[in-house]
Chain A
Amino acid sequence: MIIKNLSETFGPSGNENEIRDFIVETIKDYVDSLKIDKMGNIVAYKKGKNKNSKKILIGAHMDEVGFMIKSIEENGMLRFLPVGSIDKRILIGKNLLIGKDKIKGVICYKPIHLQKKDYNNIPDFDSLFIDIGAVDKKDAEKYVSVGDYAVFDTKFEKRGNIIKGKSFDDRLGCGALIEILKDRYENDVYGCFFVQEEVGLRGSKVAAYNNPSDYAIVLEGTSAADMPHSKDEPDFPKMGDGVVITISDRSLFVDKDLLKMSVEYAKENKIKYQFKQPMIGGTDGGEIHRSREGVKTIVFAVPSRYIHSPVSFADLRDYQSMIDLTKILLNKLK
C-alpha cells in the first residue's frame, strides 16, 4: 500500500530528497511532464481533455515535522532542535531515525529514580538529548554529524479501514494526489508536492508563483478533535465522518464559490464530508490564495488523530472521500 511507503519514508522540512525521489519514481509514468523547481517542489503537469480548460493547482506537502542535530556533547549525547511545531511534552523516550544512514536513537531524560520533582516540569529542548548509544563524542561522530536530520521511528500498520503511522500530515495528502494524478480530467492539472510547509509554507509560495492558476485545491492531513473532552467543546472533525472541508483557518478564508460547490457535489454524490473548526492551523492554501493576482482556493483534509507526534490514526474511508470529491472538482470547475 502506497500510504505505508509514504508514511515511512524520511523527509523532514528542508531534507525532502528521499520522499521526493520516491514520489517522482511513482508518478513519472502517468503524468505529461514533471519538473523540480529551485525550492525542490515537484510540479507534475497533466493536460486537460477540454479545450477551454482552466488551470488548477492541486498541492500537498511532502515534508514532515522532525528534528535537527545541533551539537554533539563530549559524552556522545546529541543536542537537537525541532523542525516544525512539536509538543515538547511528547518527546521523552521516543525512538528516532537519524541522518542518511538512519541511525537509531532515543530521546532521553533522567530516569524517574534520579529525579526530584522534575516530572512536574515540561523539559525544554536544552534539557533533552538524543542517545544513540555512543561511548563518547568521537564515537558518535562516526555515525552522526551536526546538521543531520532526525524523524520519529514509526512502523506503519493497518487494521481494516484504520491506519496507524507517522506523518499522516501530509503524506495522506501526497498519497491522495498520487491517486488523483493517475486519471485525466476536463481541466489542466498542476500537481504540486511542496517542500517546507511545516516551517512556514515556503515551498508553496514559490510553486504558486511559478504556476499561475485559476483555482487551487490543497490536500492535507488535519487534526481530528474526537477525543474525550472535559467540557462541552468542539469535538469535530471526527475520524470516519468524511473528508474535512475548511471554511477558514489562520492563513485563509476559502473561496465561497468553491466551498458551496464542494458541499453540493459531496451531497449529490453521497460523499461524506464535515467541516474543520474555523480559524485553527494554517496550510499552503494561505500562500497560494495570495499569490500573484489571487487564486480561488479550497482546502480538503483527512482527519487524523495526534498529528505532529510519533503516531497518528486515520480512516481510509475519509481518505477515499477526499480523493473522490477532489476528482469531481477537477472535472466540474469552469
Chain B
Amino acid sequence: MKNLVKDLTSIIGPSSYEEPVVDYIEKSLKGKKNLEIKKDALGNLIVRKKGKGKKIMLAAHMDEIGFIVKHIDKNGFLRFAIVGGLFPHNIIENHVVFVNGVEGVIGYENKNFNWKDIPKIEELYIDIGAKDKKDAEKKVHVGLLGAMKPTFVDFGKRISTKAIDDRIGCAILLQLALDDFETDNDIYYVFTTQEEVGLRGAKTSAFSVSPDFAIAVDVTGTGDTPETYIMDVKLGEGPAIKILDSGMIIRKPVIDFMVDVAKKNRIPYQLEILKGGTTDGMMIQTNKEGVITGVISVPTRYIHSQAEMCDMDDVENSVKLIKEILKTDLSKRGF
C-alpha cells in the first residue's frame, strides 16, 4: 500500500483542481467490472459497488491545501492567496509546485523581520526564478493554483510527505474498492472535492447518494510529540474512531459499533477527541433528514505542512477495520 500512498500524495491537487487525483483513481480501478463510476457537477468521483443491503457512503477528500496566484509584481515575484488552512510558519522557504508543473520557493519580506513574529500571508511571495514580470508571465498567470512540493520520506513503517491529509483516506478507499470481499451492502466510495475550503464536495455528493450510513476517512492530530497539546492519540496505535471534533459529535451507537467490530476482529484502535478541525463527516451527518455518520481517522503529525507523518500500520488497520464494518449487516445494529 505504500506505493499507492506515495503515488497519491505526489499528485498536485489543491481544492478545485482534483482532476489529476480523479484520473489516478480511475486508472487504478480500470478493469474492475463490479464497480459503477460517475462524476458530479462539483467534480466528486463516486464509485459504487452495488448491493442489496444498506446504502453506505465512504468519503475521503482528494483536494489538498494550496494557494492561488493573485498578482505578479514588476520584478516577477508572485503574491498569492491561500486555498484552505495553509499557515505561514509551515511554508516559509518551502518549495512549491504549480498545477502546470512550474516550481517555486516561498520567500518573505524580511526587512523588518524579528524572531518573535511570524510573517503574515500578505508578507510572503513566491519566487519562480523569473527575471521580471514579463518572464514570469510566460510561466504563470493570475488564478493559477499550486501546492507544496512532494518530498516523500520513507522511515520504514512511518512515512512523511505533503497531502497525507487526505490522500491517505483516498488510498484507503481505493484499496477497499480494489479488494474483493463479500458484502450485501450497497457501497459508495466517494472521493470528494473542496473539503479544505468548506466541505463543499461532501455536501453535494451526500445529497445525491443519500446514504443510510456514512463514514468519513480523514486524518487527525496526535498528542505524542514533545510538549504538544493533550490528546490521547498516538502514531502506530491503530486507527482512531472519532468521538467528536469541532464540527460534529458522533452518536454513541456508532462509536460502540465501530469499537465492537475492532475488538471482535482484534484490530487495534484508539478513540479520538479533536479540538480543532473537522471532516466531510460533519456535512454528511446533517444531509437531508440526517445520516448516521462515523469517522475513522489516521493519526498524523504535522498536519497541513510539507512533512505530514503517519504510520503505515495505522493505514493497513484502517482498511481492515472499515472492511469489517462494510461486511456487517447494519440492520442488525438498528442503523
Contact = CB atoms under 8 A, between A and B. Distances in A.
B69 interface: yes
A296 B83 contact: no
B79 A275 contact: no
A59 to B, nearest CB: 17
A293 B206 CA distance: 8
Interface in A286-331: 289-296
Contact of A247 (B41, B73, B143): B143
Nearest to A274: B142
A204 interface: no
Contacts of A123: none
Contacts of A277: 70-71, 81, 142
Instruction: With a 10 A CB-CB cut-off, give which of A234, A289, A293, A296 has the most chain B CB atoms.
Output: A293
Given A234-B71, A248-B143, A253-B16, A278 B81 contact: yes
Given A248-B68, A290-B42, A293-B40, A278 B204 contact: no
Contact of A292 (B44, B143, B207): B207
A186 to B, nearest CB: 20
A268 interface: no
A295 B207 CA distance: 12
B9 interface: no
Interface residues of A, number: 22
Interface residues of B, number: 26
Interface string B123-148: 00000000000000000001100000
A293 B82 contact: no
B37 to A, nearest CB: 16
Contacts of A293: 40-41, 204, 207-208
Contact of B41 (A233, A234, A255): A255
B74 interface: yes
A71 B213 CA distance: 49
A293 B46 CA distance: 12
Contact of A294 (B16, B42, B83, B143): B42
Contact of B204 (A275, A279, A292): A292
A295 B41 CA distance: 6
Interface string B65-85: 000111101100001011100
Given A248-B16, A293-B208, A294-B40, A278 B142 contact: yes
B279 interface: no
Given A233-B79, A275-B143, A296 B41 contact: yes
Nearest to A214: B41
B161 interface: no
Interface in A47-88: none
A290 B143 contact: no
Contact of B83 (A232, A279, A280): A279
B15 to A, nearest CB: 7
A291 B15 CA distance: 18
B191 to A, nearest CB: 14
A296 B82 CA distance: 23
B50 interface: no
A289 B42 contact: yes
B6 interface: no
Interface in B107-136: none
Nearest to B204: A294
Nearest to A252: B200
A115 to B, nearest CB: 33
Interface string A220-246: 000000000000111000000000000
Contacts of A247: 68, 142-143
Contacts of A255: 41
A234 B74 CA distance: 11
A174 to B, nearest CB: 26
Nearest to B82: A279
B165 to A, nearest CB: 19
Contacts of B222: none
Contacts of B205: 294
Interface string A265-283: 0000000000101111000
A247 B141 CA distance: 12
Contacts of A279: 68, 70, 81-83
B297 interface: no
B181 to A, nearest CB: 29
B203 interface: yes
Given A255-B41, A279-B82, A232 B70 contact: no
Contacts of B81: 277-280
A247 B83 CA distance: 13
Q: Which 10 pairs from chain A and chain B are nearest by CB?
A: A294-B204, A253-B16, A294-B41, A279-B81, A247-B143, A234-B71, A294-B42, A293-B208, A278-B68, A232-B73
24 contacts: A232-B74, A233-B71, A234-B79, A247-B68, A248-B16, A248-B83, A255-B41, A275-B142, A275-B143, A277-B71, A277-B142, A278-B68, A278-B70, A278-B81, A279-B70, A289-B200, A290-B42, A291-B204, A292-B204, A292-B208, A293-B204, A293-B208, A294-B204, A294-B205
Given A247-B142, A278-B69, A278-B70, 8 more contacts: A233-B71, A234-B79, A253-B194, A277-B70, A279-B68, A280-B81, A291-B204, A294-B208
